[in-house]
Amino acid sequence: MKGGAVKLIAVSVISALGAIVVAVKGRGRGGKRDDDEVAGKKDVDDRKSAFVANDGEVMPIAGAEQGPLRGLKYVVKDIFDVKSRVTGFGSPAWAKTHRAAKRTADVVDALTRAGASAVGITHMDELAYAINGENVHYGTPENPRTPALVPGGSSSGSAVACAGTLRGCDFALGSDTGGSVRVPASYCGVYGIRTSHDYVSKKGMLALAPSFDTVGWFARSIDVLQRVGDVLLPEPDSNAPTTPSRYFLVEDALTEKRTSPHAQCAAVAALSAINDCAPGKLQRMNLTDHLVVSCPTFRSLVGGRKDAGLECMREMVRVLMGAEIWANLGAWYEKEQPEVSSAIKARMEAASKFTEDEVARFKQIRGEIREEVDSILDGGVIFVLPTTPGIAPKCGQSDSATESWRQKCFELLCIATLCGLPQVSIPLDAHESAGAQGISLIGGFQMDKMVMTAARELVSNMKEAYPDILEAELLRLNPPAVPGEVEKTKGNDAFKKADYLGAVEHYSIAIAKNPKSAVYIANRAMAHLKIGNYELAEADCSKAIQLDGTYVKAFLRRGAARAVAGNYLESLMDYEDALRLEPNNADAKREVYRMKRIIGMADPGIDESLA
């Protein structure tokens, strides 16, 4: 196993041990030292901007004494109701205009009954209408993997708390409408699941776009992700598959215009893992080409545009989701006229303008697509594709850059979003990588547990394969600079300016850095020729030929140096060697004839102009 993978495992172990230590200290006899240490850790954790300011009024919520999640800690996205508290929805204006919840959300109650203890309420993107994780009102929770990069949203605080083991949490509750669990899971390097639509109770969860909204959660291990699923997810139908029948790599999600090398290497790692763990079960599929053939209404939407299927599905999500958001929040938005970020304002304005005809048409197409995708996935097929187009973007980018990246994200997110399907994001990382990258598995409707089981089977092989694959690809794309190349370029520039002494100096430095470069040595020879250092030029060319016996320029330049020194026979031999290597080299032909004339070997019947 590579060192990067070992390091990642070590980090996970250290984080887990840290959580255990804090939990043990918290169960002490109330000594001041223990209390101070716990309080100190909480204070440090709270500086990461993951938690809402007033969550101490209702937190912690102790889990039941018995249950399958006993001893685990978790955090709650500020979209779920907690009794006696105003659910903030990532918006100060929302909090000011709404009352405290009368009861706690179903999922929080279920986790409490299962023994898990809630230890905090986490920040989120404004009105859950973003996937970057940056909130103009509350700040940006710090990505534990790479602080300079955004954490992803809208479940930003939950992903950050989970990835950083903040307040000792083991998992985190989030919601996913268009990617709000999947994106931050990919960016922060944790597992994340978007569940099948309406499969987990949304009672007590604020609505954004009801036909898209789902409950989701994050975990640092696949084990904890599944344990939470065992509590929150219903038991599948007895006839439902429990293991994947086949894996389909969604090839149209992997084009260069959609995904970066990190995402493409994640897909290659997934292929490697599937071939190892489930030989014979892997197939490749262009999903949208298939849908164009099988769905007449979708075909009419795509038209004759090449590789535009995912863009069309992304646009369907934008319109249908936007229309629902406006129907759900529009009246409040117009009445209160809240201060919102420029990006949210633009999205709300766009959402207010979608027409009934446009929405009706896209609903019809969505129904056709869902039916076809369900038929593909029926029987245990799983789609494989990158979660996001690449690692997280840097914090503080412009609205236009953010929107451009958001659109690319939605081309990968739209499949599960549009079809209401379960999707698990698996974190992949490498020691030298600039950020984490998620790879996703999408399963059939209500096959959530099977998808998590498949992830468990593949994850070890994926994590082991990814660092080597990524390293090789990044090396191919960004080969290391050749030693001395900078000085060689300076030498070339000096030569063009007729500064031949300067050229010799630069080439000499380049040769000192890379003494086995025949090019550098032959270039210095040419500069020596211009100065009149013929012996030095000949010596350099001989060295270059020693290093590379096929380097034509070295033979030509040595021939020139020898000719000037009057060594015509040796010069002729050099030009003939050059002609042997390049039979059509005009310079070599001309010089061979010239040397033969000087020596007296030329054929008088040959026209020199044709030589």
Give the 3-state DSSP-derived string for 154-211, with helices as H, strands as E and coil as C.
CCHHHHHHHHCCHHHCCEEEEEECCCCCHHHHHHHCCEEEECCCCCCCCCCECCCCCC
Q: What does the alpha-carbon distance between residue 391 and residue 343 come to, in Å, rounded to a whole number?
A: 21
- What integer is the mean pLDDT of 444-450? 97
Question: How much of the chain is in helix, strand and coil states, percent to nearest 5?
Answer: 55, 10, 35
pLDDT of residue 431: 78
CB 368 within 8 A of CB 361: no
Rounded distance, CA 163 to CA 144, Å? 6
CB 212 within 8 A of CB 324: yes
pLDDT of 601 reads: 78
Q: For residue 238, what pLDDT is reported?
A: 87
The number of beta carbons lying within 10 Å of the beta carbon of residue 517 is 21
Can you spell out the DSSP letters for 320-343? HHHHHHHHHHHHHHHHH-----HH
Q: How confident is the model at residue 578 (pLDDT cuts 50, 70, 90)?
A: very high
Residues of the chain with CATH 3.90.1300.10: 3-477
Q: Residue 96: helix, strand or coil by DSSP?
A: helix
Average pLDDT of span 126-134:
97
**Any idea which architecture 3-477 has in CATH?**
Alpha-Beta Complex (3.90)
Cβ(192)–Cβ(145) below 8 Å:
no
Residue 44 has pLDDT above 80, yes or no: no
d(CA 452, CA 226): 7
- Where does the pLDDT of residue 304 fall: very low under 50, low under 70, confident under 90, or very high at 90 and above? confident
If one compares 101 and 8, the residue with the highest pLDDT of the two is 101
For the chain, report the end-to-end CA distance as a whole number of angstroms: 62
**CA pseudo-torsion sign 207, 209, 215, 216:** negative
Mean residue pLDDT of the chain comes to: 91
The whole-number pLDDT of residue 602 equals 61
Residue with tokens 């109770």: 201
* pLDDT tens digits for range 91-121: 999 999 999 999 999 999 999 999 999 999 9
- Which structure tokens are listed for 546? 């020693």
Task: Read off the pTM.
Answer: 0.79
Is residue 26 scored above 80 in pLDDT?
A: no
Q: Where are the alpha helices (DSSP H) in 432-483?
A: 448-477
Q: Is the pLDDT of residue 600 over 90?
A: no
Residue 38's H or E segment, with its range, is helix 32-46
DSSP 80: B
* Dihedral of alpha carbons 309, 311, 314, 319, sign: negative
- Residues spanned by CATH 1.25.40.10 within the chain? 485-610
Contacts of 545 (CB under 8 A, 6+ apart): 518, 551, 554, 555, 558
Q: Tell which phi-psi region holds residue 532, choosing left (phi > 0), alpha (psi between -120 and 50) or beta.
A: left
pLDDT digits (tens, 9 = 90+) for 234-287: 998 888 999 999 999 999 999 999 999 999 999 999 999 999 999 999 999 999
Residue range 495-504, pLDDT digits in tens: 999 999 999 9
Give CA–CA dist 114/71, Å, rounded: 10
Q: Which amino acid is at 533?
A: N
Catalytic residues: 77, 154, 180
CATH of domain 485-610: 1.25.40.10
Between CA 120 and CA 75 the distance in angstroms is 5
**Whole-angstrom distance, CA of residue 104 vs CA of residue 83:** 5
Q: What is the CA radius of gyration of the chain?
A: 33
* pLDDT one-digit tens code per residue, 189-201: 999 999 999 999 9
The whole-angstrom separation of Cα 509 and Cα 487 is 7
Give backbone dihedrals phi and psi of 47, rounded to 5 degrees, phi first.
-75, -5
Fill in the DSSP letter of residue 49.
S
Position 100 scores a pLDDT of 97
pLDDT at 611 exceeding the cut of 50: no
Unique residue bearing structure tokens 């995402």: 263
Starting at the edge strand found earlier in the chain, the sheet holding 246-250 runs 117-122, 73-77, 171-176, 214-219, 191-194, 423-428, 437-442, 381-386, 246-250, 282-285
Report the length, in residues, of the chain: 611
Rounded CA separation 196/422 (Å): 5
Write the pLDDT tens digit of every residue in 386-434.
999 999 999 999 999 999 999 999 999 999 999 999 999 999 999 778 9
Q: CA dist 158 to 217, 226, 399, Å?
A: 8, 17, 24
> In this predicted structure, what is the pLDDT of residue 297?
96
